[in-house]
């Protein structure tokens, strides 16, 4: 075992470096994981660039990365042994996936099937959060029209999950034409190129002026949440998945929401779900080939390039859906 490793350090808003730091040691019921792959989440971009900093700075090594796969190298838990491939799903304050090694609580690990490409199973982290959210947003059976605002990795997973739910028509809106092309391939009936086109108009046109049964906001911007209110039908459902745009108070079209009276659901805390049920379901769906993930596997940059990778994610991937890191490069 080496004594030092490379890890991302968040120093301040927008200031990210890659440092050499000591390899952490697992405590009781913890596991040391050698990271194989990590992915940048939209929430990581908000943390790094929008001031959602931890209480103590600099951030812990590898923070805020929380989407990762790796291999157990040391274990102080009876549930895991050296050599076990695992999906790491730490609660965000304890996240450290942007590093060569990280210590993870045993309760924040999902053992992966042997012989399956870990790069593919990495996507079970994001998929798991959308499975968990979909249960909250739409606990019912099939619906007529659903809209997804934001065609990043989460938005495109919502598209696939809502299609599996049996919605008759699906609308997807995004700023990036390349992502909308993927949405079409995945089964979107209507794609909306913002800001030139309006997701509100698309939903109203598709429903004879009523609005969508369900609108999922997966972009993380106040303007998108306002559009979701305008696009939903009376007594419909709103699912807010996107991260807050800023700390503190934020504008919201309360009068319009009050008059329409939709059910509004927020989602967080998938990492605390008993038994990590949604992450385990996500692994199974990927292994079975029931969810398409090929469009998420590139580009992959080395850990040393993490600052550039985060900038690329901030720029919406310049058309790419997911930016990945290879700590072994």
Q: Quick one: 130 and 262 in the same domain? A: yes
Domain membership of residue 175 as a residue range:
126-266
Q: Per residue in 268-304, pLDDT tens?
A: 999 999 999 999 999 999 999 999 999 999 999 999 9
Above 90 in pLDDT, residue 141?
no
Q: How confident is the model at residue 53 (pLDDT cuts 50, 70, 90)?
A: confident
Which of the residue ranges 185-189, 201-205, 317-321 would you say has the lowest mean pLDDT? 317-321
Q: What is the pLDDT of residues 6-35, one digit of tens each?
A: 999 999 999 999 999 999 999 999 999 999
Note the pLDDT of residue 244. 92
Residue 38 domain-assigned? yes
**Euclidean distance between CA atoms 227 and 5, whole angstroms:** 45
**Confidence check: pLDDT of 56 > 90:** no
The reply to whether 136 and 255 lie within a common domain is yes
Residue 229 has what pLDDT? 98
Average pLDDT over residues 45-60: 90
The answer to whether residues 246 and 318 belong to one domain is: no
> What is the pLDDT at residue 197?
98
Shared-domain flag, residues 73 and 135: no
Q: Decide if 288 is inside a domain.
A: no
Provide the domain count of the chain. Answer: 2
Q: How much of the chain, in percent, has pLDDT values that exceed 90?
A: 92
Query: How far is 204 from 196, CA to CA, in rounded Å?
Result: 16
User: Do 141 and 12 reside in the same domain of the chain?
Assistant: no
Residue 51 has pLDDT above 90, yes or no: no
Indicate which CATH number applies to the domain containing 225: 3.40.50.720
Is 179 contained in some domain? yes
pLDDT tier at 127, thresholds 50, 70, 90: very high
Mean pLDDT calculated for residue range 109-138? 96
DSSP-assigned states of every residue in 8-67: EEEEETTEEEEEEEEPP---TTEEEEEEEEEE--HHHHHHHHS----SSSSPPTTTT--E
Specify the residue for token string 């076990």.
84
Q: Is residue 287 part of a domain?
A: no
pLDDT band of residue 1 (cuts 50, 70, 90) is confident
Residues 175 and 143 in one domain: yes
Query: Residue 3: pLDDT above 90?
Result: yes
Q: pLDDT per residue over 192-224, tens digit each?
A: 999 999 999 999 999 999 999 999 999 999 999
290 domain residue, yes or no: no
Mean pLDDT confidence for 48-68: 92
The predicted model gives 81-85 an average pLDDT of 97
The pLDDT of residue 142 is: 86
161 and 255 belong to one structural domain: yes
Tell me whether residue 66 is in a domain.
Answer: yes
Domain of 316: which CATH number?
A: 3.90.180.10
Q: Is the pLDDT of residue 54 over 90?
A: no
pLDDT confidence of residue 76: 98
- Average per-residue pLDDT in the chain? 96
Residue 325: what pLDDT? Answer: 98
Is residue 65 within 8 Å of residue 91, measured between CB atoms?
A: no
Do 251 and 317 sit in the same domain of this protein? no
Tell me the per-residue pLDDT of 151-176, one tens digit each, with 9 for 90 and over.
999 999 999 999 999 999 999 999 99
**Are residue 183 and residue 168 in the same domain, yes or no?**
yes
Domain boundary among 248, 266, 284: 266
Residue 277: inside a domain:
no
Evaluate whether 98 touches 38 at the Cβ level (below 8 Å). Answer: yes
251 in a structural domain: yes
Enter the tokens of residue 160: 């696939």
Q: Domain check: are 115 and 147 in the same one?
A: no
What's the mean pLDDT in 100-105? 98
Determine the average pLDDT of the residues in 245-259.
94
For 183-187, which contacts have Cβ atoms below 8 Å and span 24 or more sequence positions? Answer: 183/151, 183/156, 183/159, 186/156, 186/159, 186/160, 186/292, 187/159, 187/160, 187/163
Q: Percentage of the chain surpassing pLDDT 70?
A: 100
Confidence (pLDDT) at 329: 84
- pLDDT (0 to 100) of residue 55: 81
């Amino acid at each position: 075992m080496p004594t030092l490793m490379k890890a991302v350090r968040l120093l301040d808003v927008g200031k990210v470096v890659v440092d050499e730091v000591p390899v952490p040691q697992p405590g009781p019921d913890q596991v040391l994981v050698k990271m194989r792959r990590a992915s940048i989440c939209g929430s990581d971009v908000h943390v790094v660039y929008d001031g959602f900093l931890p209480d103590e700075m600099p951030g812990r090594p590898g923070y805020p990365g929380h989407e990762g796969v790796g291999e157990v190298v040391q274990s102080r838990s009876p549930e895991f042994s050296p050599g076990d491939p695992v999906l790491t799903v730490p609660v965000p304050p304890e996240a450290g996936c942007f590093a060569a090694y990280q210590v993870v609580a045993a309760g924040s690990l999902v053992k992966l099937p042997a012989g399956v490409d870990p790069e593919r199973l990495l996507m079970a982290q994001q998929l798991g959060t959308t499975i968990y959210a979909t249960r909250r947003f739409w606990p019912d059976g099939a619906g007529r029209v659903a809209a997804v605002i934001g065609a990043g990795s989460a938005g495109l997973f919502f598209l696939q999950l809502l299609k599996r739910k049996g919605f008759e028509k699906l609308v997807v809106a995004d700023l990036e034409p390349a992502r909308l092309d993927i949405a079409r391939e995945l089964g979107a009936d209507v794609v909306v190129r913002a800001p030139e086109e309006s997701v509100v108009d698309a939903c109203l046109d598709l429903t004879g002026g009523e609005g969508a049964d369900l609108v999922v906001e997966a972009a993380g911007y106040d303007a998108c949440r306002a559009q979701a209110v305008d696009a939903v039908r009376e007594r419909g459902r709103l699912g807010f998945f996107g991260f807050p745009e800023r700390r503190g108070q934020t504008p919201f079209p309360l009068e319009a929401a009050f008059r329409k009276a939709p059910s509004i659901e927020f989602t967080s805390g998938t990492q605390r779900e008993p038994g990590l049920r949604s992450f385990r379901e996500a692994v199974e769906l990927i292994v079975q080939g029931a969810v398409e993930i090929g469009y998420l596997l590139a580009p992959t940059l080395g850990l040393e390039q993490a600052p550039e990778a985060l900038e690329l994610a901030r720029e919406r991937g310049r058309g790419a859906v997911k930016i990945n890191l290879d700590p072994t490069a």
